[in-house]
Structure formats: structure tokens, C-alpha cells
Chain A
């Protein structure tokens, strides 16, 4: 059953068309990667899906939301978006403080998510004392604290160096496998998409339209199996071929003004 549905969504900033007639569904517990050339409107799409930007046309609807979810549509931001004056625990608590929880309940939730994201010993640290990878862990912990039905992840690993990115991707894979969440995962990194997603939505160059929606050839848990390596590589190559065509066309259009 669909948890998030976008129907005929279009958007423009001033005279600039950013998205044109985008329609797709995100299923329960599905991870849908959104990939495409730079500037194609991926992040705008995520903001529209999360209710932070009102589209000029089209509808966004959600359903099948578990009753326990405190914030059904929850973002994980590329730049972490942590309050620098709050500690790690304080940043996580921010998402809960207006939810009417008692102090003990709030503390219990914060302690639980900090433990799940291996941040318990950094609860009192300020963001400036953490590395980029640790900061994004805090972003993840904050998102998990509100028991999201749908995670909206906007290039969550792109501000990190490649080693940290790989380590955090391992953790992310495990967290997403454990939690009953749907994920809309915007990325320009095909390796992340191929590793984490059930399906990939390939965007055209701006104004972004859906060029293809491609399902993974093997389930998430089986992709590390060497027997599936060829199938996964082919999927990646197919996705890259579509993105490369769009990126090259975008470059030509820019060059010709």
C-alpha cells in the first residue's frame, strides 16, 4: 500500500521551471532513491514531499501512517541542521519537546536513539566538538526519535569524506533494515542508491521530470552476495547511462545559453 503519493506535481521559482508533472508512489517500508543530474530539482521535490515547499501544481498525500509516529514526514538534512548551542542530547530532544511527553519519557526516548546511533557517550557534546560523520549521526538520531513513517533524506552523506561516508552507509543500511520506515533518498551518488534503494527514480535535467523508475534486480539484503555482483553492476550502469545522457544534454544547453 502506498504511504506517500505525489500526483502531477510541478514547481517553479519565479520564471524558472524546476519540476514538471512528477507523479510516483512510495510504498510502505520501501526505499526509493531519487537520482539525476545536478540542479534537476531533486531537493525541491523532497521539500515539496515534506510540506516545506508548496508546489504550484499537483497533490502530495500520505497514508498508512502508524499511530505511534510522532512526525510522519521527517527530514535528514545534507548539512545536518543541528543547533550549535544545543548539546547532542539537546538537539535530539528539540524534536520531542513540544510533543507533550513527560521529562522521563523524553529522556528515555533520547537515551534510546543515542544508544541506537552509538552516540550515548557524546550526549553532552556540542556539535562543534563532533566530526562531520558524528554530526550526521545526530541528525539521524533526531529523525529516529520521532518514529518517522517516512524519512526524507536529502543527500545525507554528501557533506562527508569518502571514508566516513562508507562507515555511515553501513550504519544507515542496518538502521533502515531494522526500522519499519519508508525512505525517499535523494542523492547524486549512484553507489549509495544502488546499495540502499529498492527502486531508483531517475530524473531528467531541469525542469525535472521522471525519466524512469527502475527496480533493483536483487533485494537489499542480497546485494553484497558476490553471486549478485553482476546484476547490481548492470543496474548501476543502466542508471548511470540515463543520468549521463541527461547531464551531457544539460551541459550542452548551458553552453549554448
Chain B
């Protein structure tokens, strides 16, 4: 009797691919590779440091600026503006967004206003803000707050929409008061969307603080970068850009940690 399986072909595995996993090594290698290539191009091809300073020159400039204390002061100023503007915009956006998610009239009015105003590049409103609030801090903070308000409101409203209705009905069936349903069911359920909104709004805040500082400020990372550009100090200019990139990464890390802490149940 023939051996079982004799003359049969093995089934070919066809399930590979389309399942990209996480690779910390890949990310690190890509960054190191890019910086190495940049450094090699600067050193070997003789690219003018005025047009493209080498990574080593940028690090040296960064070190000098930090040691001098000037850059840290500029970062501090920018961070304060971001913190104030983002907090104002986020609190207002959350209040309006939750209202839009929970109440019919607020929803109709809110979506009409938000849809009309959201597409406006908020930096275009800075001159108006300066006219209303003066050249000082309030106009910059208000511009950042405006930029943060809209994505926060939209993410909060869509977050409330995404809470499964059966959970709300369950809470109603157990007699939970309205405030308890909002606090214990709606807010936690909307949190993933709200945090996703925070991720976007924090990037917008960073973008706007730099833009606002370039338009009308003496201090701040944006003003520093602009001044370095005007003085052709491209190593310092790019040192400022590196700081902005690190700030963006730090904010993303903070949001990531919040997500891990509060929406780990997904």
C-alpha cells in the first residue's frame, strides 16, 4: 500500500505580507542612516555650510546655544505661549464639542459654525488678533487657541457620536442620572477620539506658535529661527528647527503616554 501522502504536493504558504509589525530598530536605523548620509554629503561633496550645514555643525550650534542659555529662554517663551493657547483652545473646544455631541441645537449650530470657520488658516487671522488684542502675548495666544479650538471641538463631538448607543441605553435602564451618564459613559467612551484630537491640536499649536512668533515677536523659537535666517546663521536656524522637531516628538510622547494610561481598554 502506498505511503499516505505520497504523490501529493505540499500546500504552498500564501499568507505572507500585509501585516506590518512594529520595529524600533527600523526607525532608529532610518534616522541614523539619514543623518550619516547628510554628514557624508556635507563632508565629502563640499556642500557650502551656508546652504546646508552638516549635522555635526548643527549639533555644535545647538550645544553653544544651550550652554549660552539663550535657546532655553526662547523655548521657555514658546512653551508658555503654547501652554496658554492650547489650554484655552482645548477647554473651549471640549466644552463646545461635548455640547455638540449631546444636544440637538448645539449640534446644528456648532457644526454650521465649525464647518464655516475650520478651513480658515488661523495664522491669517493674526493681524486681526493684533488689531483687537495688541502686539503682545494675547494676540499670539488667541491665534493658537483658535487653531486648537476647532479640531478639539470636532474630535469631542465625533467622540460622543462614537459612543455605542447601547451603552447609553444600558445606563438609562439602570436609572443613572444624566450627569452620571455623561461622566461615566460618554466621556470615557469619547476619550480615544478626544486624545486623537489632542494629538492633532498640539501639532497645530506648535505650528501656530512658530508662525505667530515669525510675524510679530522678539522672543520665542519662531523669532529665533527667523532672526538666524536673516543673519545667514543657518546652523543656528537648523538648530532651532531641531528643537521644534524635538518639541513635537515630546508632545507626541506625552499624548501616547496618556493614551496608554487612559484608553488601554481598547
Interface set of A (CB-CB < 8 Å, partner B):
50-52, 71, 73-75, 77, 79, 81, 83-85, 94-95, 97-98, 126-128, 142, 146
Given contacts A83-B185, A84-B265, contact A98 B173 (CB under 8 A): no
Q: In angstroms, how far is the closest chain B Cβ from the Cβ of A159? A: 12
Residue pair A52, B172 in contact (C-beta under 8 Å): yes
Q: With the chains together, A77 CA to B172 CA distance in Å?
A: 13
How close is B246's CB to chain A, nearest CB, in angstroms?
Answer: 32
With A77-B170, A83-B167, A94-B174 known, 18 other A-B pairs at CB within 8 A are A50-B173, A51-B173, A71-B173, A71-B174, A75-B173, A77-B166, A81-B167, A83-B184, A83-B185, A83-B188, A84-B265, A85-B188, A85-B189, A85-B263, A94-B176, A95-B174, A97-B180, A127-B265
Check B173–A74 contact: CB distance below 8 A.
Answer: yes
Which among A74, A79, A95, A142 is the interface contact of B166 at CB below 8 angstroms? A79
How far is A146 from B265 in the complex, measured between Cα atoms in Å? Answer: 26
Q: Closest CB-CB distance, A85 to chain B, in whole Å?
A: 4
Please, which residues of chain B bring their CB within 8 A of the CB of A85? 188-189, 263, 265
CA distance A150 to B209 in the complex (A): 59
Task: Among B170, B173, B176, B266, point to the contact of A84 (Cβ < 8 A).
Answer: B266
B170 and chain A: residue at smallest CB distance: A81
The answer, yes or no, to whether B177 is at the interface (CB within 8 Å) is yes
The interface residues of chain B, by DSSP majority, are classed as: helix
> Contact check: which of A52, A71, A98 meets B180 at CB < 8 Å?
A98
B253 within 8 Å of A by Cβ?
no
The answer to whether the Cβ of B171 comes within 8 Å of any Cβ in the partner chain is yes
Q: Is B169 interfacial (CB-CB < 8 Å)? A: yes
24 of the cross-chain contacts (CB-CB < 8 Å) are: A50-B173, A51-B173, A52-B173, A71-B173, A71-B175, A75-B170, A77-B166, A81-B166, A83-B184, A83-B188, A83-B189, A84-B266, A85-B189, A85-B263, A94-B171, A94-B174, A97-B180, A97-B184, A98-B175, A98-B176, A98-B177, A98-B180, A128-B266, A142-B174
Q: In the bound complex, what is the Cα–Cα distance between A246 and B225 (angstroms)?
A: 77
Report B-chain residues with C-beta under 8 Å of the C-beta of A81. 166-167, 169-170
> How far, in angstroms, from A126 to B180 measured CA to CA in the complex?
21
Chain B contacts for A75, CB-based, 8 A: 170, 173
Chain B 138-154 interface mask (CB, 8 Å, partner A; 1/0): 00000000000000000
Q: Which residues of A contact B188 (CB under 8 A)?
A: 83, 85
Query: Which residues of B approach A to under 8 Å, CB–CB?
Result: 166-167, 169-177, 180, 184-185, 188-189, 263, 265-266
Q: Which of A51, A52, A73, A94 has the most CB of B within 10 A?
A: A94
- Closest chain-B Cβ to A97's Cβ sits at a distance in Å of 7
Question: Shortest distance in angstroms between A10's beta carbon and chain B's nearest beta carbon?
Answer: 21
Q: Are A94 and B184 in contact (CB under 8 A)?
A: yes
> Smallest CB–CB gap between B163 and chain A, Å?
10
- Cβ contacts under 8 Å, A77 to chain B: 166, 170
Which B residues lie within 8 Å of A51 (CB)? 173
For the complex, give the distance between the alpha carbons of A81 and B165 in Å: 9
When distances are taken between beta carbons in the complex, the residues of chain B under 8 Å from A127 are: 265
Do A52 and B175 touch across chains, with their CB atoms under 8 A apart?
A: no
Which residues of the partner chain A approach B172 to less than 8 Å between Cβ atoms?
52
Contact, CB under 8 Å: A128 / B265? yes
Residues of B within 8 A of A74 (CB): 173-174
Residues of B within 8 A of A142 (CB): 174
In the complex, which residues of chain A have a beta carbon less than 8 angstroms from the beta carbon of B173?
50-52, 71, 73-75
Q: Which residues of A contact B189 (CB under 8 A)?
A: 83, 85
Chain B residues within 8 Å of A146, by CB:
174
Tell me how far the C-beta of A82 lies from the nearest C-beta in chain B, rounded to whole angstroms.
Answer: 8
Q: Which 7 residue pairs spanning A and B have beta carbons closest together?
A: A81-B170, A85-B265, A95-B174, A75-B173, A84-B265, A85-B188, A81-B166
Which of A50, A73, A81 has most chain B Cβ within 10 Å?
A81
List of A residues within 8 angstroms of B185 by Cβ:
83
Within the complex, the shortest CB–CB distance from A62 to chain B, in Å, comes to 14
Known A52-B172, A97-B180: A126·B167 in contact at CB below 8 Å: no
Q: How far is the CB of A45 from chain B (nearest CB, A)?
A: 15
Q: Are B174 and A126 in contact (CB under 8 A)?
A: no
For B266, the closest partner residue in chain A by CB is: A84
With both beta carbons as reference points, the residue of chain A lying nearest to B192 in the complex is identified as A85
- Cα-based distance from A107 to B251 in the complex (angstroms): 39
Q: How far is the CB of B85 from chain A (nearest CB, A)?
A: 30
CB distance from A94 to the nearest CB of B (A): 6
Q: Which residue of A lies closest to B166 (CB)?
A: A81
Complexed CA–CA distance, A95 and B166 (Å): 15
Q: Which residues of B contact A94 (CB under 8 A)?
A: 171, 174, 176, 184
